[in-house]
Structure 1
């Protein structure tokens, strides 16, 4: 009897996870969520990506990976999410949120999934200013201001 309940609970958890997960892909400079294009993407180089609005081609988000001038020492690396239209910058050392080994496209798909989960991006690709403020409070470490150069 306990095994049946445990199995039922496990199946419910898996089905909820599959139900609430969204398929995010970046291909041919298009960011799609469940097959619907929500943003345009441009890979600048391995460490930078830009995302553009579908409505007016404004650059909404610039992602930068910073090695802090020490390419062989990774403990001081961080990333910057610069929400240009909202004039909000988030700097974080939590590379697990964005990294996907050396595949920058997969990493950017992970960033978009994260922003959708946090509701910073709406399902239509628009920025939600209220959720962006909360996102900044949760994740911004203000690294540049604390770094001596």
Structure 2
């Protein structure tokens, strides 16, 4: 009896999570949130993406994947989120937040969902500077400053 209740509760939690999640897709260089375009996207290469504002075409976010000059050793890899209009750079080794098995478009969709969840981006694709500073405090590891070259 308790297994049935536990299973029903689990299914309910999954369905609620799917129901309240936002649908972010990148299609034809457009970032769509529930079908509405909020940003423009440009794939530079496999390791770089740029996102542009809908209002004035400013580049608001540049994503870079860094292999730390050791392509065969992945334990030291990290990514950079460079919020250009706010002059804020975030470096993190938490690749689980962005990776999606070499499908860079799915990884970028994952980043946009993450930024929406953290309220760094609002529903119109605009940056929230206050939430960006909180986001930086939470996730920035400042890798470049502590790496000897």
Deviations 1:57-108 (A, max 9, x none): 0000000000111111111110000000111110000001001111111110
1:7 Cα deviation (Å)?
4.5
1:36-115 to 2 correspondences below 5 Å: 36-115=36-115
Instruction: List gaps (5 residues or longer) in structure 2.
Output: none
Distance in structure 1 (CA, Å) of the matches to 2:141 and 2:72: 22
Distance in structure 2 (CA, Å) of the matches to 1:146 and 1:135: 20
Count of aligned pairs between the two proteins: 149
Distance in structure 2 (CA, Å) of the matches to 1:50 and 1:141: 21
Instruction: List gaps (5 residues or longer) in structure 1.
Output: none
Distance in structure 2 (CA, Å) of the matches to 1:86 and 1:127: 9
The equivalent residue for 2:6 is 6
What TM-score comes out, normalization by structure 1 length?
0.94
What TM-score comes out, normalization by structure 2 length?
0.94
The equivalent residue for 1:19 is 19
Deviations 1:24-55 (A, max 9, x none): 11111000011010000000011000000000
1:128-139 to 2 correspondences below 5 Å: 128-139=128-139
3-state DSSP of counterpart to 1:80: strand
1:15 Cα deviation (Å)?
2.7
Distance in structure 2 (CA, Å) of the matches to 1:49 and 1:8: 41
3-state DSSP of counterpart to 1:56: coil
